[in-house]
Amino acid sequence: LAVLLLVALSGSVFSSAYALRPLVTNSLIKCADYSSVYYLSDADERWVFPDETTYFTWYMDFNDVIDVSCDELSTYPIGGVVTFQPGTNLLTMPSTDDVYAVEPGGLLRLIASESDAIELYGDLWWTYVRDTSEAFWPSYTVGAPLEAGEVPEGSLLFAYNPDDPSAS
């Protein structure tokens, strides 16, 4: 009887791999039933990545995504939708030719002209432009257009000296 009780208890405790690992905040999580990946905040809220394009502005691969049970996943309330990481790409949507820089908090700043885009991002500025669906647009806030020469908040800058490539 003691052996059966032990087997029964160990089966209920160890039948799930999820029970063996405590979840930590600031993790990437998902459950097997859904393809969505979430960022678990330190407030125990899950923030959904709306698509792979957005995900890859923050992470290089899916190696750090932790599988959790769908029951556990459902215990974390939705905090919101993750927006593009500031300073990584420029954003547009299919129904417009407007191009925006992304600042912290999902703030979009219109780049007024192609010459402004070239000044900020170089001759290949257009290679940084990514489309997002209009369905995700409400996750962002449109702010004032960038002034000529204004660097968007959250951008990483470096000085390049063609005579000294090691200085970059």
Give the 3-state DSSP-derived string for 54-95, with helices as H, strands as E and coil as C.
HHCCCCCCCCCEEECCHHHHCCCCEEEECCCCCCCCEEECCC
User: How many C-alpha atoms does 53 have within 13 Å on its Cβ side?
Assistant: 14
What is the C-alpha to C-alpha distance for residues 20 and 43, in angstroms, rounded to an integer? 22
What is the C-alpha to C-alpha distance for residues 102 and 73, in angstroms, rounded to an integer? 29
What is the C-alpha to C-alpha distance for residues 72 and 67, in angstroms, rounded to an integer? 10
Tell me if 40 sits within 8 A of 73, measured CB to CB.
no
Identify the band that residue 1 occupies on the pLDDT scale cut at 50, 70 and 90.
very low
Mean pLDDT of the chain: 84
Distances (CA, A) of 143 to 77, 108, 121, 166: 28, 6, 20, 37
pTM: 0.76
Residue 59 phi, psi dihedral angles, 5° rounding = -135, 150
- Mean pLDDT of the region 118-146: 94
Is the sign of the CA dihedral 25, 27, 30, 31 positive or negative? negative
Q: How many residues in the chain?
A: 168
pLDDT (tens digit, 9 = 90+) per residue, 17-76? 444 445 677 899 999 999 999 999 999 999 999 999 999 999 999 999 999 999 999 999
